Amino acid sequence: MNTTKFVNCFLSSRRKNIFKYKSQAEELQGKVLRNLVRQALHTEWGQKHGFNQVKDYDSFAKTSPVNTYEELKGYIDRMRHGEKDVLWKGQVKWYAKSSGTTNDKSKFIPVSRDFLKDTHYQGGTDAVALYLLNNPQSRMFNGKALILGGSHAPNYNLPHSLVGDLSAILIENASPFVNHYRVPPKDIALLSDFEEKREKIARTAIRENVTSLSGVPSWMLSVLTCALDISGKQYLEEIWPELEVFFHGGVAFTPYREQYRQLIAKHDMHYMETYNASEGFFGLQSDLTDKAMLLMIDYGVFYEFIPMSELGKENPTIVPLWGVETGKNYAVVISTSAGLWRYMIGDTVKFTQKSPYKFIITGRTKFFINAFGEELIVDNAENGLDTACKATGAQIKEYTAAPVYMDNRGKCRHQWLIEFAKMPDSLDNFAHILDRRLQEINSDYEAKRYKDITLQHLEVVNARKGLFADWLKSKGKLGGQHKIPRLCNSRTYIDEMLAMNNAATADDYCSTQPPESGSKKA
């Protein structure tokens, strides 16, 4: 029997519910909110914030404040020590150690059994449902899924709770069906040393018929290159002839796309983006020709949005899903079946359509550059880098950027530290094209670049091979779901990396110096 066809048939009823997203979004989100409030009615949070009086969205918004992690931390700490009915009903055993930031302070995001079932695992199921809808000839269940995960963190564990990367928690609690189709086995998947784990995963996987990949693009790339090195093959389809899809998420895929094309030469390889974070599973690419993702609106997540133009104000406008506008940048606020109430997750999105609701991730509320009023966001950066790569033949492995507020010549600019998988034909030309493209797509950046008065031409520094991985390793954050901070107003991260880069040999270091004011642009 063709298992894939059986699974596809089994998921047809679920797809009918997803089709309701187009016409019943407000009703579906209203039902989610009512269920969340009902289940938390007798928790400490529910009693404190009058959940027994909540009848609709407006009454919920009036009784519950918007929260950051710091404001919920005291409640979460008590939950980790075994207290029941605090933010969510019963006792919550698992906590995802957040990798949404790279500083030393850890965040522990509660992951209740309800949340595992109605959000994280539902998201994984729906990813398969939508992929099979778009690819009815798929045979992905004829083989195994190579799924990358993080590890548990026993040093953070308490007698009544366990901590791990979200991916490790999902692997630990996965159903026998998933375990049957997954590679590597759990003992390898949960290893904490990424360098040891990478080789063991590669050696295990090349003995299997892998048909699908799931994971963060940067770490998956590292495993796949290791598999090619061990096997002596040039392309992945020489190891896995039936490989057909990569379910990716965690970081933007744009910088890695060309590298994957070089590893996987087959024309019918598919790439499907997912938006799965420690705080919840939020979106899926329902049409592989459209980079926007479908917002999953019938999980254990109720959504609200704050216009980025009002973020930081004392009383910002906050709207439910049915109040958003297309083309506008929003900070995301969620309430979940794990007890995160009106919680700002730190991500920003922009809706491309409303029937059904589809969006793109534009960045992080903390990861942007606005040192001179230029309001540069990650979406701008990805667009500019993609243009520069295409024009110069470059490929990017990792990057970060920060402002230079004033150098010894009194010049202000943006400094980009980039590790290239393939160098551009000219680093100077790459920098010119990137700078020009940023001006084309960001009017604020263009205004500040006018005649080099406020902001001078950007600078690109070529990072030595492995710099970003070495920096993550120095922070104890190698592998798993850990990410490089892309854009920062602060120079803390980039200065640490530059110090490591400058410690390398002179042959490994070069940079484009910003042109003098008035020089001709490309």
Determine the residue type at 328.
K
> Whose CA is closest to 219, among 187, 254, 256?
256
Q: Can you list the positions of beta strands (E) in 121-222?
A: 144-147, 162-164, 182-183, 210-215
**pLDDT averaged over consecutive 10-residue blocks of the chain (522 residues)?**
84 95 97 98 97 96 93 95 97 82 65 96 96 94 90 80 88 85 88 85 95 89 92 96 93 81 93 93 95 97 94 90 96 97 93 96 80 82 93 93 77 92 94 95 84 87 92 77 79 91 59 41 32
Q: Which tokens hold the place of 519?
A: 């020089």
Asked whether 247 and 213 are in contact (CB, 8 A), the reply is yes
Q: Which tokens hold the place of 427?
A: 């680093």
Distance CA 223, CA 364 (A): 27
Contacts of 306 (CB under 8 A, 6+ apart): 66, 316, 317, 318, 330, 331, 333, 344
Phi, psi (rounded to 5 degrees) for 174: -65, 155
* pLDDT of res. 410: 60
Q: Residue 27 belongs to what H/E stretch?
A: helix 25-39
Sequence-separated contacts (24+) of 292-295 with Cβ below 8 Å: 292/352, 292/353, 292/358, 292/359, 292/360, 293/358, 293/359, 293/360, 293/361, 294/18, 294/21, 294/130, 294/356, 294/357, 294/358, 295/21, 295/321, 295/356, 295/357, 295/358, 295/359
Q: Answer whether the bond into residue 184 is a cis peptide, omega within 30°.
A: yes
* pLDDT of res. 504: 65
- Give rounded-to-5 percent helix, strand, coil for the chain: 40, 20, 35
The sign one gets for the Cα dihedral 488, 310, 294, 354 is negative
Sequence-separated contacts (24+) of 386-390 with Cβ below 8 Å: 386/254, 386/255, 387/433, 387/434, 387/437, 388/424, 388/430, 388/431, 388/433, 388/434, 388/437, 389/255, 389/258, 389/424
Query: Looking up tokens 């997203």, which residue turns up?
Result: 21
Asked whether 139 and 211 are in contact (CB, 8 A), the reply is yes
> Whose CA is closest to 118, among 237, 269, 13, 14?
14
* pLDDT of res. 180: 86
In sequence order, the β-bridge partners of residue 94 are 111, 162
Distance CA 97, CA 220 (A): 20
* pLDDT of res. 407: 67
Distance CA 262, CA 324 (A): 39
Distance CA 194, CA 165 (A): 13
Query: Looking up tokens 């930081």, which residue turns up?
Result: 312
Distance CA 48, CA 175 (A): 36
Q: Which tokens hold the place of 355?
A: 């029937």
